[in-house]
Structure 1
Amino acid sequence: MKGSNISPVPALAAKFLKLSGIIMVLFAIINSMLLLFPFNLGDIEWRLNFTTQIIERGILPILGIALMFCGYGFEEILGIAPPQAKVSWSNLKFWIYLLSFFCGIMFLLLIPLHISTAVAQSNQNVEKLNEDAVIAQKQLEERLGQRESSLASLLKNNQKLEEYISQEQLSKEQLAELEKFKNNPDALKVRTEEIRTQLTKQLEQNKQKAQQSSQLTAVKSSVRIGLTSLLLASCYLTIGWSGFKGSKSKVR
């Protein structure tokens, strides 16, 4: 008599909860599978993007499972749930528990994969920054050499020097510096060396800042995604273990 006068609304609500949960889980599985394509495990950026998105979307199946078990709970409260002595492979709960175990193990394995990938990308970025710094230093040397050579040639020709001064809007400090270079050619070399030292120091500082930023990004990503994956793994494993353990205790 317990389930003879059940209102259709609560019964439908229980079914809709289970249906919503199933759709949410299937939606998460399909989207996760699509992330694999195009498959390129050897690419660091692909691996980092894949692990990050999988872990960030890992909460969706949990919500789907929660909705499903809310539906099962309503059915038991209403007395319309069929009696089940144990969880078998023909039962949807069995596959949910199995999926939870699989997801728990997967998220545990994703932790070292993501951390190693984040570190590898950081090292790759640092190497690229070092290469760019070498190129920038070479370009700086070439520009300074050209500047010193052109100024030295200009200072030796009074006519060209006067034309240069008349064409360029030079400040008093610049005019005084040109006069100094003309009277003392070694002063030009000294000034060039000062500029080289200053710009080289600036390039080195920019490189170090970029390297520190890349390394900090890798650390933040490793901590955030790693802890998130650990929490997801513990939740999924708890669901799977509780389900199978609970079904065994009922059989006893």
Structure 2
Amino acid sequence: MKGSNISPVPALATKFLKLAGIIVILFTIINSVLLLYPLNLGDIDWRLSFTTQIIERGILPILGIALMFCGYGFEEILGIAPPEAKVSWNSLKFWIYLLSLFLGIMFLLLIPLHISTAVAESNQNVQKLNEEAVIAQKQLEERLGERQSSLASLLKNNQRLEEYISQEQLNEEQLAELEKFKNNPAALKVRTEEIREELTKQLEQKKQKAQQSTQITAVKSSVRIGLTSLLLASCYLTIGWSGFTGKPRKVRQ
């Protein structure tokens, strides 16, 4: 079939497919470059966000390449353009294959970068949680110490104790506890220690739960983004390698 007998509609369709593919690829490249600004490689959150977004958008160039080669394939089927015997450097296909190889290598390198960054962020969050737990424990000790001193002073003054009871409207259990503390000051210290142990245990459980959550998040992110990047790398490397090493298809006479 000769190219002169081809309907203009299929011919235009092949051009539109290639144009759409080029636009998708350029759109992705431009947006990926813009992700670099403002550049802040020393910030863990920035690196994690950058690698995540780059990998999550990695499928778009594949779609662009697929559209372009659909256009090339239809051109060969329609006889508009013969199959190339060899891909030359001044051919658009050459640069697409080269871009594919570059993207394949890039996505391979992003795997350890993302995983190490996710682990670093997890360790940073764990350290922050430990620091917050130390501060919370210190504040707890201060509050309990102040309360113990205040109650001890209150129990020594009957007038203030009566005023406190009338103002707070204590129930029978609380009144009995105050009476116990008044008759046995050591019981106040014992009760304070019990409260300290209980609240410290709650703080520790809360800290461990938060640490487990941040570690699980890091593992999930490493597995999901790492596998996605590996799949993208294998796809791009296959496209690039096949383009430069594949044998040209023979045309039937």
- What TM-score bracket applies, with the shorter chain setting the length? over 0.9
CA distance in 2, matches of 1:35, 1:82: 40
Alignment of 1:204-243 (within 5 A): 204-243=204-243
CA distance in 2, matches of 1:13, 1:181: 91
CA distance in 1, matches of 2:147, 2:184: 17
Q: Please list every run of at least 4 consecutive aligned residues from structure 1 whose deviation after the TM superposition is greater than 4 angstroms.
A: 247-250
CA distance in 2, matches of 1:125, 1:234: 33
Task: Give the gaps of 5 or more residues in structure 2.
Answer: none
1:156-180 residue CA offsets vs partner (Å, 9 max, x unmatched)? 0000000011111211111111111
Map of 1:100 onto structure 2: 100
Alignment of 1:103-252 (within 5 A): 103-246=103-246
Superposed CA RMSD in Å reads 1.2
In the alignment, is the contact (CA less than 8 A) between 2:76 and 2:83 conserved in 1?
no
In the alignment, is the contact (CA less than 8 A) between 1:87 and 1:247 conserved in 2?
no
1:114-145 residue CA offsets vs partner (Å, 9 max, x unmatched)? 00000000000000011000000000000000
In the alignment, is the contact (CA less than 8 A) between 1:21 and 1:65 conserved in 2?
yes
Question: Deviation of residue 248 (structure 1)?
Answer: 7.3
Question: Deviation of residue 247 (structure 1)?
Answer: 5.3
Instruction: State percent identity of aligned pairs.
Output: 87
The letter for the 2-side match of 1:243 is G
CA distance in 2, matches of 1:248, 1:143: 80
Question: Deviation of residue 246 (structure 1)?
Answer: 1.7
Map of 2:90 onto structure 1: 90
Question: Deviation of residue 9 (structure 1)?
Answer: 1.0
Task: Give the gaps of 5 or more residues in structure 1.
Answer: none
The letter for the 1-side match of 2:101 is F
In the alignment, is the contact (CA less than 8 A) between 1:24 and 1:61 conserved in 2?
yes
Deviates more, 1:122-131 or 1:169-178: 169-178
Total equivalences in the alignment: 250
CA distance in 2, matches of 1:119, 1:97: 34
Alignment of 1:50-65 (within 5 A): 50-65=50-65
In the alignment, is the contact (CA less than 8 A) between 1:89 and 1:95 conserved in 2?
yes
TM-score, length-normalised on structure 2?
0.96
CA distance in 2, matches of 1:149, 1:49: 50
In the alignment, is the contact (CA less than 8 A) between 1:17 and 1:71 conserved in 2?
yes
In the alignment, is the contact (CA less than 8 A) between 1:100 and 1:239 conserved in 2?
yes
TM-score, length-normalised on structure 1?
0.97
